[in-house]
Amino acid sequence: MKKISILILALVTMIGFYSCEKAGTKVILDPNNVTSPQLKSPVDGDSMTFSKANSDSTLIFTWSSATYGFNTAVNYYVQVDRQGNNFSNAKMVGHVKSKDSLQVAINDLNNKILLLEDDPEIPLSLDLSFRVIAIVSSQVDTAFSQVVNVKVTPFYIPIIYPQLYVPGAYQGWNPAAADSIGSLNSDGNYEGYIYMPAAGEFKFTSARDWGHINYGYAAPGKLSTDGGAGNLKVADSGFYKFNVNTTELTWAGLKTVWTVIGDATPGGWSADTPMHYSPATQLWTVTLSLKAGEIKFRANGSWALNYGSDNNDGKLQEGSNTNIKVATAGSYTVVLDLSHTVYKYKLIKN
């Protein structure tokens, strides 16, 4: 998980004030001339309750402008994280350029705050911290506002994760009907699984059409946003895990075959039990006798890619140290669902 917005990390590369050059003229920044932005609204100690009834309304963040001793365009980013995290898991609320306010739809802000919940489907009141970041260029130190602490009570709505679409030869090159991969943390890192029924070419698109940003071949493992860039390809049919970083313009595809393993399975921890994939349901399943014990899912007979469940709640986390518990022995249908941004499983007792 990225510790701060990818966009900001790309812009901020060093601490301290440095000289910069423009049209051959060297400008020296005097730290005494720099003033950080200061949040005016919301104010420290505020309490907010969001609901479906007010989800169409807006919240306005306001702040005093950052100053640098000379006129310059300033990019402002509003961030939110849980109190005490030091913004290590910050979510980007929004961005404006050379303005001292940001208007955010309650529905959109609620969606970002749900990402900070322990269980987004059962949201609780959270003690949150907001701040504003001012950025001029990579040669100028980032200016941070004071932290404003606010208690927010969000409401549950299905989280809409940013998506990249994957049109290709496997589905007739139709972006409108293409499968997609999602960004779990809305940070430019996309991941997902897609079944390719045959070897062939494809691209990633930022929308369900060809009129927005498209990602094609630049070099092995590298992407290009040039509309004329070549297609990407997989060498064989199969169920592929795709990872894309739209900031660094990188991608990877791994063909996977899934199994279940554990002391609850017939093979224990030393032998995998194969699962079967259905393109129609997009699910991996297997029916087998399980003992009371524990299981995990793993790909390609290796621990390099495996899923457990941190809370044994039907949701999966890659490389989790917590195995999935089987409470009682019996015949089960085990279901692995990797078709959505949040990966899930079911243990159905027959």
Domains defined along the chain, listed by start: 6-153 (2.60.40.10), 163-256 (2.60.40.3620), 258-349 (2.60.40.3620)
Name the amino acid, one letter, at 191: E
Contact predicate 136/92, CB 8 Å: no
- pLDDT for position 75: 96
Does an H or E element contain 40, and which? strand 38-41
Scanning the structure block, which residue is given the tokens 């457990």?
A: 308
What six digits make up the tokens of 326?
């089987």
**CB neighbours of residue 162 within 10 Å:** 18
Q: What is the pLDDT along the chain (350 residues), one digit of tens a residue?
A: 333 333 333 333 333 333 344 444 445 566 677 899 999 999 999 999 999 999 999 999 999 999 998 889 999 999 999 999 999 999 999 999 999 999 999 999 999 999 999 888 889 999 999 999 999 988 888 999 999 999 999 999 888 899 999 999 999 999 999 999 999 988 999 999 999 999 999 999 999 999 999 999 999 999 999 989 999 999 999 999 999 999 999 999 999 999 999 999 999 999 999 999 999 999 999 999 999 999 999 999 999 999 999 989 899 999 999 999 999 999 999 999 999 999 999 999 99
Instruction: Work out the end-to-end distance of the chain between its first and last CA atoms, rounded to an integer number of angstroms.
Output: 38
What is the DSSP secondary structure assignment for residue 67, as one 8-state letter?
B
- pLDDT for position 79: 97
- pLDDT for position 69: 86
Name the amino acid, one letter, at 110: N
| 136 CA to centre of own chain | 26
Residue 179: closest CA among 196, 197, 167: 167
**Strand pairing class (148-153; 47-49):** parallel
- pLDDT for position 244: 98
Does an H or E element contain 278, and which? strand 276-278
Name the amino acid, one letter, at 285: T
- pLDDT for position 138: 80
- pLDDT for position 220: 97
